[in-house]
Amino acid sequence: MDGNSFQGSIPPTLNRIKGLTQLNLTSNKLTGSIPGTLGSIGSLQGLYLAHNNLSGPIPKLLGNSTSLLLLDLSFNNLQGEVPTEGIFKNLTGLSITGNNELCGGIPQLHLPKCLNPTARKNEKAMSVPLRIAGVTIGVILVLISVLALAVFLYKRHKAGTMKEQLPTPFTEIDLPIVSYNEILKGMDGFSEANLLGKGRYGTVYKGTIENQGVDVADKVFNLQQSGSYKSFQIECEALRRVRHRCLVKIMTCGSSINHQGQDFRALVFEFMPNGSLESWIHSSTGTQNGNRTLTLAQRLDIAADIVDALDYLHNGCQPSVIHCDLKPGNILLTHDMRARVGDFGIARILNEAAIGTSMNSHSTIGIRGSIGYIAPEYGEGLGVSTYGDVYSLGIILIEMITGKSPTDDMFRDGLSLHDFAKAALPEKVMEIADSRIWLHYETNYGNGTRNITETKEVLAAIIQLGVMCSKQSPRERLSASNAAAEMHNIRDAFLSTQL
């Protein structure tokens, strides 16, 4: 319900909604106070009330909630003491910026101290002359402080050293944190010529980072977009846990202030010169001469890399990581056409999610993932699981062999890519295979009957694997480890026939 023009106060009866995990009322015209009853919603994990006209104190009941992991109250007119319990002790999940009359809270918030009742009583008893003197001195001190701060910020800006420290969990990535100026220079001022792509939460540019001497891809988060801060936090949290050859390598990160004084967040990754898998599967460029097509061997290598990455995320990490948005657009290709899985912006850490202690243990509002690759059970409201990633994997495997997108216009009236592939097994796989597979086939593998038969068997095996991974019921799908073992068997068997 964010980004509308809702007016009036927040109904206190929202606590009657059973199973409510996310409440997003950001960027409306709400007034009045925040109902304390919201703190009694036992399932509530994310509460977003930023950019409204709410006033009054922050209910202490919100600090009593044991489920609340993300609370955004920024840019309202809230007053009074900030609670110190629960979510209010977690700086990574709390935002109260833009409420100038708040006080107290934990020391890390750097808010002014609240006056106790005795102090208020004494203040009222002050004589008028003393009050005037106190106010005058206070104004002078404030002016001096503002002037000193302005000079300090100007010098920092001029020197190009403006940096903002990342919250504690992100420093565990153990990477150098670069300033806005460094990234701005390395990306040539974020020029359109360096643009690689745009997503919901940010834009990716090609560039360099000083003293590293290599090309990088810089993902700059659009912090005006609701959910961008959360996406940045989740991706940082996921990336600090993973290290694998089949995952995109993070080089450094940026947490700073831009030239307009606004927060700036960016992640800098190793540059992938061959772009995304999607651009190769569905590219029309070079179709005639084969310059932009994947050979069968390349498809097998890429598929093996993808399942290895997924097997690592599910079984090689402690706790396990669920990607939640596996698709060809998030699979990038190196100079030698090997796959690297990237974009952990909506990933989820499984084990911690189960016990409700991780910042990632909340559900995203709406369906997690991209249309065509989302597991059916997510649309029915069931929880995120490793089986959801496996479903996406199955669709990708079928797509790589058929060249058909799951959102193709041909898939309507109940027909899906899964059903399309399943119906072709085993005899009609040559009919549904991507015709571009054959552009280099004779040169690479010969054109004998034996080779054609072996190729048909390989195509059938991969499509069969994709079908098994993308079954309707989660429990009927393969695990990532079993899918990886099967994919390696298929690839190795094919390569052995080419020796």
Pairwise CA distance, residues 383 & 43, whole Å: 14
**Span 49-69, pLDDT tens digits:** 988 999 999 998 888 888 888
**Span 293-346, pLDDT tens digits:** 899 999 999 999 999 999 999 999 888 899 999 999 999 999 999 999 998 878
Per-residue pLDDT band for 128 (boundaries 50, 70, 90) equals low
pLDDT at 364 over 50: no
Domain boundaries defined on the chain: 7-118, 126-159, 168-270, 277-497
pLDDT at 419 over 50: yes
pLDDT on residue 107: 83
Q: What is the pTM of this model?
A: 0.62
Per-residue pLDDT band for 157 (boundaries 50, 70, 90) equals low
Of 72, 305, 325, 343, which one is the catalytic site residue? 325
**R_g over Cα of the chain:** 27
Element (H, E) at 424: helix 417-424
pLDDT at 216 over 70: yes
pLDDT on residue 192: 84
* CATH, domain 7-118, list 3.40.605.10, 3.10.20.90, 3.40.50.980, 3.80.10.10: 3.80.10.10
Residue linked to tokens 């706790």: 319
Q: What's domain 277-497's architecture?
A: Orthogonal Bundle (1.10)
Highest-pLDDT range among 46-60, 143-157, 475-489: 475-489
Active-site annotation holds for 325:
yes
Pairwise CA distance, residues 343 & 324, whole Å: 10
User: What is the mean pLDDT of the segment spanning 267-290?
Assistant: 78
Degrees to nearest 5, angle at CA 24 with 20 and 27: 165
Per-residue pLDDT band for 162 (boundaries 50, 70, 90) equals very low
Q: What percent of the chain has pLDDT over 90?
A: 32
User: What is the mean pLDDT of the segment spanning 3-28?
Assistant: 88
Choose among 206, 339, 346, 338: nearest CA to 269: 206
Cα–Cα distance list, 206 to 14, 181, 182, 184, 420 (Å): 46, 16, 14, 11, 38
Q: What percent of the chain has pLDDT over 70?
A: 82
pLDDT on residue 96: 86
Query: Strand, helix or coil at 61?
Result: helix
Topology of domain 168-270, CATH: Phosphorylase Kinase; domain 1 (3.30.200)
